[in-house]
Copies of this chain bind each other. A is one copy, B any other.
């Protein structure tokens, strides 16, 4: 047999009991140095490594987290990466699930499958789920016995979230444009139903109001998606609806890119005619034409914080001991302004 050595094999070889082996493996201090040494030698010789499934079963804990995503973009990819790193540091494994469809059944199935796999907590990285957005509202009612944490989802009393402060982002983006002396600042908002899009849009309106330059309805177009194609379309519409615009706050860098292509095609100069700012700071954005002013979001940090918070929930025995909701349930990270040529006119 070429099977892996078990704790019993080690015990036999070292001439001790299984518990003693277990003790040295788990670093208990109640083992005589010489015993420890003997056991360690046997472990090395047999190349013993504990079977996590067995440990999981006997301990009644898995030290495993689930992470579910869909259609990952640059931002969520970096969150994943941060989540994986932090999970590792904290001694947790991360099981990845891809959601295929947004209907409530798929959602439940994924959640339950993760629970079956003995995950102790789940990280939900899908901002919005098609038409079935409603299910989120019932998250508290889901018969999940394990904590659930949401990324970039509108804070609600019944759920826990870690997100960027999208309102703040909209504020500083618009204020940056205002500080340039621009007078007619348009906005291409992210699609309807997205909390991040709505927050930024609201902030844009508020900032203009505060500056005593309230924006007319036509100054804002809602993009069909977060992609460049939608930006191209939306900017075309803006050109018709809001002539004389001298600045654009795009909901993200890709949409800004699409808008800028349309601008080039129309002979509109950036930033001379229209200053443009995006959100995300993609690695490419510094090399767009012209290089794009944007708001950096540290998505990796988002993933790190999320896992840290989720582990906190797990270890505080969330679900067992129901706790009162407090402001800490919704953690917010902030963006940083990165100024480049697209607004440096």
Contact = CB atoms under 8 A, between A and B. Distances in A.
A281 to B, nearest CB: 13
Contacts of A254: 283-284, 287
A187 B95 CA distance: 41
A96 B117 contact: no
Given A62-B53, A287-B229, A88 B97 contact: yes
Interface string A112-130: 1001111000000000000
A95 B94 contact: yes
Interface residues of A, number: 59
Interface stretch (A43-51, A132-140, A189-197): A43-51
A2 B145 contact: yes
A53 B56 contact: yes
25 contacts: A2-B145, A49-B115, A49-B116, A52-B116, A52-B117, A52-B118, A53-B56, A53-B57, A53-B118, A72-B77, A72-B78, A72-B81, A81-B98, A85-B98, A88-B97, A93-B95, A94-B96, A95-B95, A228-B284, A232-B287, A254-B283, A260-B289, A261-B288, A261-B291, A289-B289
**A-B CB proximity, top 8 nearest:** A84-B98, A228-B287, A53-B56, A77-B77, A289-B289, A96-B96, A261-B287, A53-B57
Interface of A: 2, 4, 47, 49-54, 56-57, 62, 67, 69, 71-74, 77-78, 80-81, 84-85, 88, 93-98, 100, 112, 115-118, 143, 145, 227-229, 231-232, 254, 257-258, 260-261, 264, 282-284, 286-289, 291, 320
